[in-house]
A and B are shown apart, each in its own frame.
Chain A
Amino acid sequence: EDQVTQSPEALRLQEGESSSLNCSYTVSGLRGLFWYRQDPGKGPEFLFTLYSAGEEKEKERLKATLTKKESFLHITAPKPEDSATDLCAFNSGGYQKVTFGTGTKLQVIP
């Protein structure tokens, strides 16, 4: 069965303390690996799509990478406004739907 597993479930960082979140996947026929960020009280918002192993994408303090088995979301010098839940998801096969992981709840302390 296709699935993604995110770790850790929760992460508490000091402002400026860089770290990485992990998304391990077992998906046959991966068509895209997505990262979304969900601020408290809001719906998820798209960050990145990765398709092939070795691909990297960057946006401000965030960088996403992809290997054949996992994806990382690297957070450089986080700020308190980065406190959110980061979600990994995948799209496979010929369907329109996306399957989400359970997320990593990130808290950045000033």
Chain B
Amino acid sequence: DVKVTQSSRYLVKRTGEKVFLECVQDMDHENMFWYRQDPGLGLRLIYFSYDVKMKEKGDIPEGYSVSREKKERFSLILESASTNQTSMYLCASSLRDRGWQNIQYFGAGTRLSVL
């Protein structure tokens, strides 16, 4: 079974702190994604990566950056956390370009509170 592991389930940070969210997948998937999920807004794509050291902006990249130094690991970085970044963050992975077979596998999520 595909396993996507997010390093923390719950995280509380202060405004202005630098925050790292880590995600590891064990199925050798090329693609990895970071989403945030907010009530009424659904899942919104922040960044995705289709290969090591490659990244593409999603729909809401402002205030975030990412790092992918190894194929299995994708990190989301909040350079200076703000209260409007309080949210559920979800990491996902998928095989590259299977078209309609492009199934994404999700981690359990990290609920981040910025105070």
State whether the Cβ of A32 lies closer than 8 Å to any Cβ in chain B.
yes
CB-CB < 8 A to A102: which residues of B?
A: 40-42
State whether the Cβ of A49 lies closer than 8 Å to any Cβ in chain B.
yes
State whether the Cβ of B4 lies closer than 8 Å to any Cβ in chain A.
yes
Q: What is the total number of residues of chain A having a CB less than 8 Å from a CB of chain B?
A: 22
| Structural contact, A97 and B45, CB atoms closer than 8 A | yes
B interface residue count range (under 10 / 10 to 19 / 20 to 34 / 35 or more) = 20 to 34
> Contacts A49-B100, A87-B42, A96-B97 given: A43-B92 contact, CB under 8 Å?
yes
> Contacts A87-B42, A100-B43 given: A43-B103 contact, CB under 8 Å?
no
CB-CB < 8 A to B18: which residues of A?
A: none
Q: Give residues of chain A (35-69) contacting chain B, Cβ–Cβ below 8 Å.
A: 41-46, 49, 51
Q: How far is the CA of A103 from the CA of B43 in the complex (A)?
A: 9
Q: How far is the CA of A46 from the CA of B103 in the complex (A)?
A: 7
| Structural contact, B101 and A49, CB atoms closer than 8 A | yes
Nearest chain A CB to B89 CB, angstrom units: 10
State whether the Cβ of B74 lies closer than 8 Å to any Cβ in chain A.
no
CB-CB < 8 A to A99: which residues of B?
A: 45
| Structural contact, B100 and A51, CB atoms closer than 8 A | yes
The contact sample of 15 A-B pairs, CB cut-off 8 A, is A31-B99, A32-B99, A34-B103, A43-B109, A44-B43, A46-B103, A49-B101, A91-B99, A94-B97, A96-B31, A96-B48, A96-B96, A98-B102, A99-B45, A100-B35
